[in-house]
Structure 1
Amino acid sequence: MGRWVIPEVYPLLGAMAIVGGMVVFSLGRHVTMNPDVRISKEGRKQAVLDNADEGERYAEHGLRKFLRTRTPEIFPKLNRFFSDPEKST
């Protein structure tokens, strides 16, 4: 068994575990919350879906509402420091 335990593989296994967790989370979110996915038989019978409010709730989630009020900058304080002419003396 000692021959199969290679310490150099541990970071790769860790990265693959993180990516696998992200995939499971994404698939679970889409299956349970996406308004276009119908798992029950009653939901699949409908030819035309009348679910505009459900789609709106799905598209306008909390993270998107939070980020809408923010400026699209990665380092706002650093940008202000270098762009303010009074501080660059």
Structure 2
Amino acid sequence: MAASRWLKPEVYPLFASVSVAVGICGMQLVRNITTNPEVRVNKEKRSAGVLENHAEGEKYAEHGLRKFVRQRSPQIMPSINNFFSDPNN
């Protein structure tokens, strides 16, 4: 009864968007646990206290996606924005 109620073609986009959101959250969780310099899972590393390791923090903050986006225009659709905002057209 419940399967026939929820497994309709109209609900597939909802399942897809929720799956993508859960995947992004899971990816960020794994990234923080494995590479964040402020997160220490092992007991030996936790006993070190607060470390002033700026190079490791900079490496974590300046990840590949941020480096890629930094070289791009901050617009979502620059061609359409330029078409409607440029007075020469």
Q: 1:68 to 1:19 in 2, by over 3 A?
A: closer
CA RMSD of aligned residues (A): 2.1
Confirm whether residue 33 of structure 1 aligns to residue 56 of structure 2. no
Larger radius of gyration: 1
Q: Residue 43 of structure 1 is aligned with which of 39, 42, 45?
A: 45
Structure 1 residue 13 displacement after superposition: 4.4
CA displacement, residues 7-38 of structure 1 (integer Å, 9 cap, x when unaligned): 23953544443333233222111100111011
Percent of counterpart pairs with the same letter?
45
Q: TM-score normalized by structure 2?
A: 0.75
TM-score, normalised with respect to structure 1: 0.75
Aligned residues: 85
* Structure 1: gaps spanning 5 or more residues: none
Structure showing the higher helix proportion among its residues: 2
Unpaired segments ≥5 residues, structure 2: none
Judged with a 3 Å threshold, the aligned counterparts in structure 2 of structure 1 residues 60 and 77 are, in CA distance, closer, same or farther, namely same
